[in-house]
Chain A
């Protein structure tokens, strides 16, 4: 099978952060060309291959494998490299989500969103007027009439939910979701407005604010709905690691292979990919005054190419240190794009000798960036503040998950995520050093040293069906304007089924009503009139099953 025929098969590989699943098509290897298969037989000589086998790169030191590789035609060589870098690409995503403060911010938002939806959906589904409004939930407030008590109650609940869902929407859900134009405003304030060259490399960009809080940049005059977003950082990092890995495997000879790889896998299909895959690579090339990344590759300069890739890897890693915002803090301190901007300017200054700091590694240079006068004015925190605050957030989330997540399957999934993440914050030095986060070889799996590191790579975890079912319908409910099908509403109803519990306190002043988990053995209630608290066992509760009524 020719490369152009196998690439669509590779295109089906993806990573879903909420379920932690790396998705491969079943027939991934079946379409490989005979030459590519022969190469893999020579290079690996093994049948049942794991991801660790595919990415071990041992064949780089085996002359027979190298001879076969370089005697193969260009298309086969690119096919082999495209196949191997699929694993690098997706594991880069998985590891970045699980060990970075921004990854933590993403999951914290996912948990907080879920806890609030546990009470929101049973009430929204209970009212025929509001069921119709369960679509494109990001704009729920705009559609709500607020005529009835139930609608007013939902609106109150929405006040807590909106910032969470809007954060995901502004981030494009860390995928390719684009907010509508009406949610994007020009400038960051009246003073910071208009087209400038913010990165200092001759690329005009316009500061914009998405959903009133997310400051970022877009390219003026082009696609007005695209802007720098977390996806830009994640995808750049994955492509950078893939190209670094090719250089690791093939050394200086790899420069030619990187050029063909980039042209065939990415550039020739540029219109199909979001800009996020290219923008920072092109911007990075301009640090060394090259027009774009393709021009840089065409120079076939190993040192220059590797230098730019390592700078981009470092800047993206720095950007991903944007932590979950603490209560009352300025949200700009959690904005990864502001960190990206700051990091880019700092390293451009270093590369162009406008900033002179002594450092032995890029991680060390980032410590100087923490001290740099610009960092504070960008609202950014130092890593010595970020890591301790992330540790506290994780501890807090573990307790809150235990207390607030009703569905046991979802609770166990959230706990699994937090348990995977916790050691990477608890044991981390208060520095930017990370062999998983910015591997020189491009392969984050080479950075695995401890049991907790290897656990990030295991594929044997099965996301509980209830959690997966919710995540599968979530995106369309939030970000899509089409009316959900009846079947979706039924799944939503089934997932979020809760009981309506009217509690009559001994004080006799009236009923206190609340929605309670259908899984709860006990419920803690506080009388709305006298404030007395009581724990009531499930068997003693007179609950109303709203689900049964709708069925």
Chain B
């Protein structure tokens, strides 16, 4: 995975978004799976960008956060952190630019404090959220609550 600047990441997100618009959301998920694999093969464990919120434990519960689980965990994290009132995505919904994949990507990166090395993983996440619809994505947080 090549290390990207935020501008390069936004450009890549716009291109992937076009691709997803033409071929469907499955392309976004497949890109996410690939991005997670690339991230790990570059020597970055995926847990380094998943906050635990509690002390490390062991036992029957220990489960790996692999590529397949990643979206489940991360979408939940984004909803909890950025969809609440005052959250970066919540602000976007009110601003009228909630359909801009670049704006969503920037909101995720700044809102979660994503390090540069993990920008590549956030690209498909932003694209999936945009194609789900930002309102709908954040509304799922209310439903879950």
Contact = CB atoms under 8 A, between A and B. Distances in A.
B48 interface: yes
Contact of A482 (B41, B49, B56, B62): B49
B3 interface: no
Contacts of B45: 177-180, 225
B113 A273 contact: no
A339 interface: no
Contacts of A484: 113
Contacts of B144: none
B116 to A, nearest CB: 10
B62 A479 contact: no
A271 B56 contact: no
B16 interface: no
B145 interface: no
Interface stretch (A145-153, A371-379, A470-478, A505-513): A470-478
Given A224-B43, A271-B66, A482 B58 contact: no
Contact of A481 (B42, B48, B64): B48
Interface in B27-80: 40-45, 47-64, 66, 69
B62 A235 contact: yes
Interface string B65-107: 0100100000000000100000000000000000000000000
Nearest to A235: B58
A548 interface: no
A178 B56 CA distance: 12
A181 interface: yes
B118 A481 contact: yes
Contacts of A235: 58, 62
Contact of B49 (A17, A225, A480): A480
Contact of B56 (A11, A475, A483): A475
Interface of A: 10-19, 22-23, 86, 89-90, 93, 135-136, 173-182, 184, 223-225, 231, 234-235, 238, 271-274, 276-277, 471-472, 474-476, 479-485
Given A11-B63, A173-B56, A485-B113, 20 more contacts: A13-B59, A15-B58, A15-B59, A16-B54, A18-B55, A23-B57, A93-B59, A176-B47, A177-B45, A223-B40, A225-B40, A238-B59, A271-B66, A273-B62, A273-B63, A274-B62, A276-B62, A475-B56, A480-B48, A480-B51
Interface of B: 40-45, 47-64, 66, 69, 81, 112-115, 117-118
Listed from nearest, the 7 A-B pairs whose CB atoms lie closest are A181-B43, A483-B113, A175-B56, A178-B45, A14-B61, A471-B55, A14-B57
